[in-house]
Structure 1
């Protein structure tokens, strides 16, 4: 059974899902990997370099998911502060492992120059079930608003709230996958009682800037770093990427705060959402993780260059 057909069999076509339909959807989800083994265990090996900061717990039925961030051990309030988030959509694997890779291999190079707060897996249930939504069929990356309907978004907002106004930059690590078109968009249409309108998936890396606070030089600095590792997505025949007009090579813009996107959570001047394409025949998982880490490094390098200018 195709994913699109499977979602269409839940509920009544043209009518949004209620609790019964959400329960049917949830019953079809299968745990496929371990947050504890893949993420929490990886954090243990970083304790010498970082201060590990528990910031809450997700409770879904009988399962509990501890939430952990990494904070610079030598935090100083006068330094620029950068937030790195991954796994807001748990199925976007390189967001999680790219954030961990940055923390493990690159962050030490910025010690004494910048405060870093890294949240490698915002949505552990989504990570384990390879799902875009959370346990309640809610998209965390449309839920960064008060009050938030998603536990994942609410917990991250609580973590960030005491530091809001101190962040120079926030880079949020995502992927655009073929399953966006074959599974998750059909599911969204079914959940909301709307017809599914087919689209296309860009072949390559691209970024999402903020319509309400565009920072083109910041985005291009990231593009320049990432294209050394993987290819930048070309536009389609309409000059678009994933249905939005490209404003520069590899860059589109969304109204981050209006849409409740994670990249709006800090109020930072410099924000970007990365979008890696792991299903490309021209990219490997290793390249995807490396591209995410390179994007983070480029963002920090840009912030430090601006601070010293």
Structure 2
């Protein structure tokens, strides 16, 4: 672990109040366009898929329509799978991995599963390259009823309206060097706690749900992604980000109690991907393709398992 780094906002040991959160917000600036990068790509999918606006975010710093892309031909007898990207807007390959799956691969599975993809749950975070939303809330700790975080509540409400069981959910994420240089120090400052940075795994790994571990499912995704990019090795203590490795390339978190996105359904097969785009061994394109491989690896396992059962 690295030494503690003290963030520049707030008083050490004291949680942020409204003034500190406003100071933080005032320092955030638009760096890229959600409309140009994401909405335009979604619009281009309308001939092949059904595109729906499932909600609207209205902040003083920006207004955003939220879009979900799903199979045009819906078959109630088939399993339904969910893909989420951009829960943390700064995790670029999560957004573009979800889009790339729709652009290149999803159609090959449409006669076997119903597909629901939320390409970018946190558009302000995407534009400002941020982990939090404008209220300094982390959407990936807010997938709980009554959290008040619309980035998290609105997709949950949409899935509830579908009234269909979910068989698989793959949530696409990244771990970047800014986790240590910005986001973990900011979180500790906000909560009034002590920050100690973690060793960022060099490569791809998965976070499974401790209550739905499904080791074979996770292993199938690791094999699929391993054909595209390198799988991370644990640190000297056998951990990824401070959590013991369960099997090669996999750790587990308790998804629902933590309010994680992968906990928002009761799907039997769930996972969160983590790529490391700052690794000298990879590049942004490879990270996007690795995200697609994670989805297809999970889908192939699901379909194989169902055919055997």
Give the shorter-chain TM-score range: over 0.9
Whether 1:135 aligns to 2:134 is yes
Contact 2:4–2:197 under 8 Å retained in 1: no
* 2:224 paired residue number: 225
* 1:274 paired residue number: 273
Provide the aligned length of Structure 1 versus Structure 2.
Answer: 306
With normalisation by structure 1, the TM-score equals 0.97
**1:1-309 matched pairs, under 5 angstroms:** 8-61=7-60, 63-163=62-162, 166-309=165-308
Rounded to whole Å, the distance in 1 between the matches of 2:111 and 2:164 is 20
Contact 1:171–1:274 under 8 Å retained in 2: yes
Rounded to whole Å, the distance in 2 between the matches of 1:6 and 1:239 is 24
By how many angstroms is 1:133 displaced? Answer: 0.5
Rounded to whole Å, the distance in 2 between the matches of 1:62 and 1:214 is 39
By how many angstroms is 1:15 displaced? Answer: 0.4
Rounded to whole Å, the distance in 1 between the matches of 2:163 and 2:8 is 44
Gaps of 5+ in 1: none
Rounded to whole Å, the distance in 2 between the matches of 1:5 and 1:208 is 25
Deviation string, structure 1 residues 111-145 (Cα, Å, up to 9, x no partner): 21110000000000000000001111010000000
RMSD of aligned alpha carbons? 1.4
Deviation string, structure 1 residues 75-123 (Cα, Å, up to 9, x no partner): 1110010000000000000000000000000011112111000000000
Task: Please state whether the residue corresponding to 2:105 is helix, strand or coil.
Answer: helix
Contact 2:5–2:185 under 8 Å retained in 1: no
By how many angstroms is 1:301 displaced? Answer: 1.1
Deviation string, structure 1 residues 175-208 (Cα, Å, up to 9, x no partner): 0011101110000000001111122100000001
Rounded to whole Å, the distance in 1 between the matches of 2:238 and 2:105 is 35
Deviates more, 1:238-247 or 1:4-13: 4-13
By how many angstroms is 1:9 displaced? Answer: 2.6
Contact 2:5–2:195 under 8 Å retained in 1: no
Rounded to whole Å, the distance in 1 between the matches of 2:100 and 2:66 is 18
Contact 1:31–1:129 under 8 Å retained in 2: yes
Deviation string, structure 1 residues 42-88 (Cα, Å, up to 9, x no partner): 01111111000110001111521000000100111100100000000
With normalisation by structure 2, the TM-score equals 0.97
Rounded to whole Å, the distance in 2 between the matches of 1:167 and 1:306 is 15
Rounded to whole Å, the distance in 2 between the matches of 1:256 and 1:134 is 20
Contact 1:165–1:268 under 8 Å retained in 2: no
Contact 1:164–1:267 under 8 Å retained in 2: no
